Structure 1
Amino acid sequence: MEKHEGDKLDEIDRLEPGHQFDVPVADRVLRLPPYLLGRINEQKYRKRREGIDIIDLGMGNPTDPPDPKIVQKLCEAVADPRNSRYSASAGIFNLRREVAIRYEKRFGVSLDPHKEVLATIGSKEGFSHMCLALMGPGDTCIVPAPSFPIHVYSPALASANVLQLEVTQPAKFLDQVAHICETLHPKPKVVIVNFPHNPSTTVVDREFYVELVALAKRFGFLILSDFAYADVCFDGYEAPSFLSVPGAKEVGVEFITMSKGYNMAGWRIGFCAGNAEMVRALATIKGYYDYGIFQAVQIAAIIALRHGEEARLEQSRIYQSRRDTLLRGLERGGWEVEIPKAGMFVWARVPLPWREKMGTMDLATKLLDEAEVAVSPGAAFGPAGETYLRMAFVEKEQRLQQAMRQINRCLRGESVGSKA
């Protein structure tokens, strides 16, 4: 006899209290390890909810505002009801054209805004979906180590195999890429590079990309260049674009973002540029996943690219001063640090006594609990990151000075922070 709706509801009511329906999530989710940076962030937010003043050196999350011209244009664009409609998934043409103009002016790279530039919801989204567009089961991807998590887990989520190669010696990295291509079958399909590198702050010159492109053509792999920190350089160093090398557009693409140099992290806007077929593949994936970026944000980004160069350079000068403040505090505490030429972080080796006492996850937790400073544990970037902490210099100099006083006091066994 067919059951009526009331009978079915009675069956549901008779389930044991606390009974939960089993949700069989996909294997790709089960294979993901705990996200250590997320764990630190969760602890940080909990302490802030408790009223504790945590100084955050953990994330490269800008604390300075965007140029007022950009904000003004955003407000104007938001007021136009036409901009509240769905936008083009690839980004409006005028914005893509502005990216092409920027590449021509800064790097001498000629790009077709119709076919070789795509707007993304931040560079992280574009990078992740490009991995999905290019890789699948049986494919292999080479990733720099220590590794920013998305560089490992985007290929993994695409079901590709991941090989991590130490990147702090770029010439050795190239030698290892060549060796793997000569000995591994099938050969790697994709090589990921990220300079200026997060987290190690390693930088390269243009000759590195000349050799990398030659290897790509020789062995037939594709290149994904994560160029997220291109806009924040110090001491006269200028990060070279992978695309500036002849032949680069034949073998790869580059991802850039408005988050760092323009203080637009929460606006979520970035770009993919380079090989037209790879850009087309990413556009295909995005066409199924999203309806593009809020058009008002895209219009404001045009103003940032067109009129924001001086503000970007000034922001780099501000970060350089903050970097120097953080380095002085680390030096006083006996930390080992190479002076970064770009980016928003220092990659600091833990002083020897503490390296012998505990791992970096435990040390980061200790500093959060006892020094009231959030840092990123090197373990979050894979085995090659262990013994290091990543510290962002996004806070103002006074806060950075206070953070280093609290860290150094904590490691000397003194009371610090709000308990001092």
Structure 2
Amino acid sequence: MDVHVAPSHTDRFGHRAWWVAGAALLAVVVAGAFSTLPGLLTGPLHEEFGWSRGSIGLAASVNMVLYGLTAPFAAALMDRFGIRRVVVVALLVIASGAALTTVMATAWQFTLYWGLLVGLGTGSTATAFGATVTQRWFVRRRGLVTGVIASGSVFGQMVFLPALSWTVDHHGWRPSLVSLVLAACAAAPLMWLGLRDHPADVGLEPYGAARHVPKPAPAEGAGRRTVAVLLASARTGPFRLTSGAFAVCGASTNGIMWTHFTPAAHDHGMPATTASSLLAAIGFFNVIGTVVSGWATDRADPRRLLAAFFALRGLLLMCLPLLMSATVQPPMLAFVVVFGLLDLATVPPVIALCRDFYGEDGAIVFGWVGAAHQLGAALAAYGGGAARDAFGTYTPVWMVLGALCAAAAMLSLLVRHSSPALRQA
């Protein structure tokens, strides 16, 4: 299929598409801040309620599973009801779940409020949301914009994590949740003002397009369409291979690092605030790595990029037990920099593969691939806590995840590449 690109004079940041992308980035930043809390809450909840780390990890696991399962349905709902409506409702659901968490008294309530409500809300503002915005509003710079929006989740972690950690240490865990509730409530009206569902709504063409693109009619049967896309894509090799690799991605990032890195560092005598600062630093380099990955995805074979990212990540995780100590040493700083560059760098290549193979259904397909990512994250979040309870150390977890990353690198290379798509620099 030919891609018509507008002349170079359209290559400017004054196009409305960049403002829509900026609004989408803000929503992802706010939602991303909520993923930082499970690691900070593990210790306080264990001390206050006497819950095991496994039961606390269960709530985080439910959150991650629903985060993944919601994304493809949210992408279809955006085709039916529009991006603005879905995102505003999602932010309000996130705020409701977090607010209820402050008054919980039992572990099952934590699973319900944090696992179910916050999981549903954050899943609706996941990377499938960014893929939908990019696909509708951009023809050129898709890889770059995808990387920028995807980096918003870890940027949110980077921005909020140090302050949340300090708040937990000095004022308890409830005030930290309240601050995020207020942030989500403040973002909702901004999304209503800043987001638009399609360029045609404001009389524009997508960024880089040579001609006007009419807005498609609302897609009926969002649920049926989402399931139908899953059933069709699940019969294809690229979907199965990419989903398997992305499940490992989730296990080796969200599932273990954002949930268990702080407790693991604390086991070695490192203060929780220091460990949280290291996670925030990982988030900083994550932003750089994801944007660079998006730029590279516009120019290189996504399969090879994925294989390289996974192989390097696996080596880092296997080395991590040797780097843990009570104080921050230069090798740990090197780990933070390199792991941060690799952490979310897998997202732009996977989105590009979904778009290349599945066309207009690419955002929904990526939502299902993202569900595999979150399933892997959930298993690691629960399994990591259970392993710590059983063995008294996280070392076996790092070893297993390193080996799985090596397997994911091989799966990435096995994906058969489609006929070359025209990538715009």
* Length-normalised TM-score, structure 1: 0.27
Instruction: Choose between structure 1 and 2: higher helix proportion.
Output: 2
* Greater fraction of residues in strand: 1
Which structure has the greater CA radius of gyration?
1
Tell me the TM-score normalized by structure 2. 0.27
